[in-house]
Structure 1
Amino acid sequence: MSAIKIGAAPLNQTPLDWSGNLQRIVSAINEAREKKVELLCFPELAITGYGSEDLFLSYWFPIKALDQLKTLLPHCKGITVAIGLPVRIENKVYNTMAIVENGKLKGFVAKQYMAIDGVHYEFRWFTPWKAHGIIDLDFFGEKIPFGDISFHHKTIHYGFEICEDAWRGPIRPGYRLCERKVDLIFNPSASHFAMGKTLERKELIEFSSKEFDCYYCYVNLLGNEAGRMIFDGETMLAKSGKVLYRNQLLSYQDFQVLTFEVKEEVQEIARILSKEEEFVQAASLGLFDYLRKSKSRGFVLSLSGGADSSTVAILVAEMVRRGIQELGLENFCKKISFPIPQNSASAEKELVNQLLTTAYQGTKNSSVDTFKSAKELAESLGATFYHWTIDEEVGTYTQKIEDAIGRKLTWAEDDITLQNIQARTRSPIIWMLANINNALLLATSNRSEGDVGYTTMDGDTSGSISPIAAVDKYFILHWLRWAEKNLDRPGLALVNSLQPSAELRPAERTQTDEKDLMPYSLIVEIEKLAIRDRRSPMDVFLILKEEIQIEDQILKGYIKKFFQLWSRNQWKRERLAPSFHLDQFNVDPKTWYRFPILSGGYKEELEQLDQL
């Protein structure tokens, strides 16, 4: 096998942005050619974007993708390029890689296994290709090989496993490619980001390169492509069970061209980020792409001084900090269509001031501490900060309903009603601010609240996007302490000193989140078993009984409460604002966990706990 330079090109694409997608592909090819790359691999479905959803089912959409491929051919002179796109054959659509050599289309490799777990729903759109199958496809009057094919470049024999193909154990295509004695396997992927996932990929790629005795090159899509899933742009090259190259994840660039000499020596291996670093980098990239692709003029946030809204504020500030660091001030401002601040020394705070508008909306039940917490944090970040009270509006609503029903509302009889009207009253005015600014309203619900419905629909759930809805509250509380020190955010000091509370009841009723619910650390353990692992209430109890030091009856009570609240509040999860997938799992029924809105609520399963 002769030494050649190969390349991988993570791309930040957008569904239906045909010209933009093509321009990024062509720019990457031109850069690769300048870098003397001979063989360049793009990610899965790079021409259309992976997140095109039911557009893949349209008759015209795959045809347009083939038109884009035809347009691309002249740009591939002097280089071999592998690029992903959907291909329709009669009434079936296939997920493919097209291989173009020196401007001529050589063939299509079709994906053999579909991802159907978690956030993936590929069987809805694509048909798996059968192993060993090869046909001729008519490509604008020319017959092109299509199916389970491998290729040659000089003395190198190479093939493909497309994303999920590699995760199918002993039946994966890699074993057949090994029998064909390939020297190099590319894995073009659209693999969603999740905290800690890079370690799983690293293990797979190391195993693959050793098991198949070849070079193994992995390349992933990049950025918040279509709204919910974030792609990290991870690229790795391995040989003989050893990683030779790994890039740093979650770039703000439109594309990257990463090159490697095919040789045994280690070339460059980026540091694996901690979970805390991954969270802030993925969420800030998600916000950056959502802002610019939605053509919005910034963000508006109801800043309560508590953990959730403070986390969201930090993520926006980090979006600005990271964007300036990676892209440079001028290019960052150009991408978000904002004027460049005149004073470069204070540019970060000036941009945060323009991009993030916050408001503290107090009531007679709010504390001085949360007001100070919100104000100090906003000022430390440079965010615009407003504050007002909503007691007059709450009083008006309350008086109207009291007049209608002919009695006074009391905390003894109307606790939920009196709490919710405060949260809902905050919504219309903060939406006004978002409309005035042509900005995205940021909701602040977290995953733990989503589990048990501890949130007011049309109140604190209001928003265009909910950045932390897929992250548990226990992690958020830990992350804020980490962020204060490691991100140099001293404005979090007061936030981190407060105990989480909705502050919707009078002070004498001593409201805290965990008193209303259960310890956040326990919610995490229950949801992992119940939702991620899909265990029954009895399984959850028997497992946690061995792992957690807590009285059986108290543990049973918490488990019953979790399942009852989970079942009762599915309708809320159906209506939450779009959120980013950031962890191993989430509770969004549109992307990860579907559950009936109406159900028996685990009645028999929970009764069995009492009989144990």
Structure 2
Amino acid sequence: MSTLRIAGATLNQTPLAWENNLINIRAAVDDAISSDVDILCLPELCITGYGCEDMFLSDWIYTKAMECLLEATSYCKNITVAIGLPVKHRGLFYNTTCLIQDEQILGFYIKQNMANDGVHYEPRWFTPWRPGIIDEITIEGKSFRFGDLTFELSGIKIGFEICEDAWREERPACRLFEQKVNLILNPSASHFAFEKTRLREKLVIDSSKNFHCTYVYANLLGNEAGRMIYDGEILIARHGKLIKRNEWLSYKSMQLQFADVDFNKEEETYPKPDEWPRDKNTEFVKASSLALFDYLRKSHSKGFVLSLSGGADSSSIAVLVSEMVRRGVEELGAEKFIKKTGISTLQIANGKDQQAIIKHLTSQILTCAYQGTVNSSEATFQSAKELAESIGATFHSWLIDEEVNSYTQKIEKALKRPLTWEADDIALQNIQARSRSPIIWMLANIESALLLTTSNRSEADVGYATMDGDTSGSIAPIAAVDKHFIITWLRWAERNLGYEALNYVNNLQPSAELRPLSQEQTDEADLMPYPVIVEIEKLAIRDRKSPTEVFHALNAVKLESSKLLKVHIAKFFRLWSRNQWKRERTAPAFHLDDFNVDPRTWCRFPILSSGFSAELKELEGLG
């Protein structure tokens, strides 16, 4: 055995974007070769992209993926590279990693454990490989080993775990340890979730210690297919110590990280790896701003349009877009940032400092509109105006009372009676929200831009949103986080990110402003305190507890009085079951937390049900 330079690379891939994906793969291999890397690990399914969904059920995908693999082998001169792709073999579909050495295929390792929880549905597409089984596959007349493989190169033994393989108690690494494997490569497509990076780091470090090896982890990067965000982590650990880590959630299409490992030595001294802030507030802005950037460019849109109400939800989204521009320009430079967006009309303000350049780019990318009514306050208008101007967004304002009155008068004429707040409260509120939708959509269409939806997860829980009103949009950036977090994050952003204009919204009580101002409407008065919603949601939705179980758990910690707690739990479950149809129709959202309420990914619930009638009766009867 000898000293080898071992590397992982992260790639920002797109499902079925064959040319783009090969360009990124080649860039990683070329960078590795120029850096004298001996062995390079690329992420899981990096040829096709991980998020192809049911396209993985199409035979032609596997033919095309193999063609791309054969092309990629030509990149791998004087280097060993692991490349992930799906392979069809004996009529079944497999998630594989191909190991290539000096332009020659050595064999295919097959994933043994399919991710089938939370946002994952891998068993729908792929068949798990049985441990210890080795077969052969024929490609263009040549036979290659296919299955549970290890390899020996330069006197070291190499084994694989593909993503989910490593998260199981009975995992391939247990058998690799028995086979005295020195190097384990883990090509992954591990989605972002708050605080997951620390769990992943612990997994890699513990794996290198428990299995006495060098462990290389290489994850996908960016918003690959619309919902999932990949943080692009590259982690290299040896015998229980982390020796290399890259900066995660990068705007670059590719990153490489390598370490020199002397496999003849039991212990080596390495500099302490770089560290970056990984608190929840920082994670939120880094992941969401990168996700917006990738969604913008991969959808070939020319910018964003936002109905900026001056409230917490829309203000948070405006800041995320501003951070998208700032972080992208700071990492890539203004010219590369513009080129990567694909928006040919973007222009750099000549002779300006970087902050002025960022604001000028923001003005071209983000258009905001305050759509007021007689029920809107001067405070929310000022909040919206000051924030938009401070970040450089293009800002419009108009009133929609004429449209609201037109709709109201037509219904009054049809019903032959006036509408009143006493008899028609919900309808009079909703028509205001819905009247805002057509004109903001019109603006988005004119600008060929994405309309951003301002719904948050707490509203989705209880249906506190107007369908075809404030739910209108192409993408819902904050739909995976609760309102309480949004409120606290805005205060953090004001202090830590320098958004002084957030002082306006941070001093407002959250309100839909759909009732007359004299009624002093607030969100929490309409629903319940947001911290209470958060605690009920964790138990009821994340942990799948019954109403009675939720009550006992929260009553034990004295969240609020027992009487009020029962009222709020009953209200939560009634509104949850009543509003599933709204969750079915919400815009795509980024997956940010360890759970979400998106029925197309994490949480499926029947549109029609009993509404927990028996369970709520049991709750009511508790002493």
Alpha-carbon deviation of 1:549? 3.7
Rounded Cα–Cα distance in structure 2 between residues aligned with 1:286 and 1:597: 29
SS state at 1:321 partner:
helix
For the pair 1:280 / 2:280, whether they are aligned, the reply is no
Aligned 1:37-76 pairs, distance under 5 A:
37-76=37-76
Contact 2:185 2:216 in 1 (8 A): yes
Rounded Cα–Cα distance in structure 1 between residues aligned with 2:256 and 2:204: 20
For the pair 1:377 / 2:376, whether they are aligned, the reply is no
For the pair 1:265 / 2:259, whether they are aligned, the reply is no
Alpha-carbon deviation of 1:272? 4.3
Rounded Cα–Cα distance in structure 2 between residues aligned with 1:550 and 1:447: 22
| Off by >6 Å, runs of 4+ in structure 1 | none
For the pair 1:403 / 2:413, whether they are aligned, the reply is yes
SS state at 1:75 partner:
coil
Contact 1:451 1:565 in 2 (8 A): yes
What whole-Å deviation, never above 9, does each CA across 1:27-49 have from its counterpart, x for those lacking one? 11011000000000000000000
For the pair 1:417 / 2:423, whether they are aligned, the reply is no
Contact 1:244 1:269 in 2 (8 A): no
Alpha-carbon deviation of 1:90? 3.4
Contact 1:530 1:540 in 2 (8 A): yes
Report the equivalent of 1:17: 17
Aligned 1:238-253 pairs, distance under 5 A:
238-253=237-252
Rounded Cα–Cα distance in structure 1 between residues aligned with 2:49 and 2:513: 43
Rounded Cα–Cα distance in structure 2 between residues aligned with 1:123 and 1:373: 48
For the pair 1:7 / 2:7, whether they are aligned, the reply is yes
Distance 1:548 1:343, change over 3 A: farther
What whole-Å deviation, never above 9, does each CA across 1:524-543 have from its counterpart, x for those lacking one? 11111111111111111111
Rounded Cα–Cα distance in structure 2 between residues aligned with 1:340 and 1:149: 52
Report the equivalent of 1:180: 179
Q: Structure 1 stretch 602-611 or stretch 101-110: which is displaced more?
A: 602-611
For the pair 1:429 / 2:428, whether they are aligned, the reply is no
Report the equivalent of 1:328: 333
Q: Given the alignment, which residue of 331, 349, 360 partners 1:341?
A: 349
Rounded Cα–Cα distance in structure 1 between residues aligned with 2:410 and 2:216: 66
SS state at 2:51 partner:
helix
Rounded Cα–Cα distance in structure 2 between residues aligned with 1:609 and 1:35: 65
Rounded Cα–Cα distance in structure 2 between residues aligned with 1:229 and 1:47: 17
**TM-score of the pair, normalised by structure 1:** 0.99
Alpha-carbon deviation of 1:211? 1.0
Report the equivalent of 2:265: none
Q: Structure 1 stretch 215-224 or stretch 269-278: which is displaced more?
A: 269-278
Alpha-carbon deviation of 1:584? 1.2
Contact 1:299 1:441 in 2 (8 A): yes
AA paired with 1:331? K
SS state at 1:50 partner:
coil
Rounded Cα–Cα distance in structure 2 between residues aligned with 1:90 and 1:498: 63
Aligned 1:186-585 pairs, distance under 5 A:
186-262=185-261, 264-267=268-271, 268-336=273-341, 337=343, 338-345=346-353, 346-585=356-595
AA paired with 1:341? A
AA paired with 1:221? L
SS state at 1:488 partner:
coil
Q: Structure 1 stretch 12-21 or stretch 343-352: which is displaced more?
A: 343-352
Rounded Cα–Cα distance in structure 2 between residues aligned with 1:249 and 1:126: 29
AA paired with 2:46? A
SS state at 1:361 partner:
strand
Contact 2:347 2:361 in 1 (8 A): no
Aligned 1:71-220 pairs, distance under 5 A:
71-169=71-169, 171-220=170-219
Contact 2:192 2:230 in 1 (8 A): yes
SS state at 2:10 partner:
coil
AA paired with 1:141? G
Rounded Cα–Cα distance in structure 1 between residues aligned with 2:282 and 2:558: 28
What whole-Å deviation, never above 9, does each CA across 1:40-92 have from its counterpart, x for those lacking one? 00000000000111111101001110110011111111000001000012331
Report the equivalent of 1:606: 616
SS state at 2:98 partner:
strand
What whole-Å deviation, never above 9, does each CA across 1:408-444 have from its counterpart, x for those lacking one? 1110110000000000000000001001100000000
Q: Structure 1 stretch 240-249 or stretch 280-289: which is displaced more?
A: 240-249
Rounded Cα–Cα distance in structure 2 between residues aligned with 1:54 and 1:265: 47
SS state at 2:466 partner:
coil
Aligned residues: 611
What whole-Å deviation, never above 9, does each CA across 1:508-554 have from its counterpart, x for those lacking one? 22210000111101111111111111111111111111123421111
Contact 1:206 1:242 in 2 (8 A): yes
AA paired with 1:333? I
SS state at 1:9 partner:
strand
User: Which runs of 5 or more residues in structure 2 are unaligned?
Assistant: 263-267
Rounded Cα–Cα distance in structure 1 between residues aligned with 2:277 and 2:53: 31
SS state at 2:143 partner:
strand
Alpha-carbon deviation of 1:270? 2.3
User: Which runs of 5 or more residues in structure 1 are unaligned?
Assistant: none
For the aligned residue pairs, the C-alpha RMSD in angstroms reads: 0.9
SS state at 1:310 partner:
helix
AA paired with 1:89? H
Report the equivalent of 2:598: 588
Contact 2:82 2:100 in 1 (8 A): yes
SS state at 1:206 partner:
helix
Rounded Cα–Cα distance in structure 1 between residues aligned with 2:485 and 2:560: 21
Contact 1:453 1:565 in 2 (8 A): yes
Contact 2:532 2:559 in 1 (8 A): no
Rounded Cα–Cα distance in structure 2 between residues aligned with 1:50 and 1:551: 48
What whole-Å deviation, never above 9, does each CA across 1:80-112 have from its counterpart, x for those lacking one? 000100001233110000000000000000000
Rounded Cα–Cα distance in structure 2 between residues aligned with 1:92 and 1:572: 38
AA paired with 2:338? C
What whole-Å deviation, never above 9, does each CA across 1:286-335 have from its counterpart, x for those lacking one? 00001111111100000000000000000000000000110011100111
AA paired with 2:157? H
SS state at 2:204 partner:
helix
Rounded Cα–Cα distance in structure 2 between residues aligned with 1:118 and 1:266: 37
Contact 1:16 1:48 in 2 (8 A): yes
Rounded Cα–Cα distance in structure 1 between residues aligned with 2:498 and 2:599: 36
Alpha-carbon deviation of 1:340? 3.0
Q: Structure 1 stretch 302-311 or stretch 583-592: which is displaced more?
A: 583-592
Alpha-carbon deviation of 1:235? 1.2
Rounded Cα–Cα distance in structure 2 between residues aligned with 1:129 and 1:575: 37
What whole-Å deviation, never above 9, does each CA across 1:527-582 have from its counterpart, x for those lacking one? 11111111111111111111234211110111110111000000000000011001
Contact 1:175 1:212 in 2 (8 A): yes
Contact 1:83 1:98 in 2 (8 A): yes
Contact 2:310 2:505 in 1 (8 A): yes
Alpha-carbon deviation of 1:210? 1.2
SS state at 1:558 partner:
helix
Rounded Cα–Cα distance in structure 2 between residues aligned with 1:18 and 1:208: 33
